[in-house]
Copies of this chain bind each other. A is one copy, B any other.
Amino acid sequence: MIEVEVKARSVPGIEEKILDLGGELIGVENHFDLYFSSPFRDFAKTDEALRIRIKEEGARLTYKGPKLDIETKSRLELTVRVDDPEALESILEAIGFSRAAVVKKRRTKYALGEAVLCVDEVEGLGYFVEVELVGDEEWEAQKRTALDILKRLGLGDSIRKSYLELLDDTRR
């Protein structure tokens, strides 16, 4: 499944704008994300990611493939739920992978039509809005819908860099 995802820096009062457009609050999640580096491939260069995400409802291992276009963050995503993220990290380390970075954020989710909007407060980076669309609709159409939502919210240009990459930039 290909997920269409666009992201932009947020502005003050964004929650009210989302509600004004007809958005409905889904809930709040706290994410603790561990990113791993590969022993034989530079995931930053290949535009891939391997992540353990720990949140209230449980933990997941996720692989993200290279992004598919230059406007959005759309890419292949593979995910599996795991019962013990610490054991999984030990397994990844045993087979040669190592913890490269940690990203912590507080995510407030809204439903808006077919889209899911996430207002993210990312430790060390600030506020962002992500628009996600997963559906049977044609991909180009979904992409236009997602970018149009950013525009209607009065947000600036779509950012393709991941929080991991943005955090990396702040350290350079």
Contact = CB atoms under 8 A, between A and B. Distances in A.
B81 A84 contact: yes
Contact of A94 (B63, B82, B83, B84): B63
B84 A82 contact: no
A38 interface: yes
Contact of A82 (B63, B65, B80, B96): B80
Interface residues of A, number: 26
Nearest to A62: B91
| Majority DSSP secondary structure for residues of A touching B | mixed
Contact of A95 (B38, B80, B87): B38
Q: Taking the full assembly, how many copies of this chain does it contain?
A: 2
Contacts of A63: 90-91, 94-95
Interface of A: 38-41, 48, 50, 61-63, 65, 76, 78-84, 87-88, 90-91, 94-97
23 contacts: A38-B95, A39-B40, A40-B96, A41-B96, A48-B95, A50-B91, A50-B95, A61-B88, A62-B91, A63-B94, A65-B94, A76-B94, A78-B87, A78-B90, A79-B84, A79-B87, A80-B82, A80-B83, A80-B84, A81-B82, A81-B84, A82-B82, A82-B83
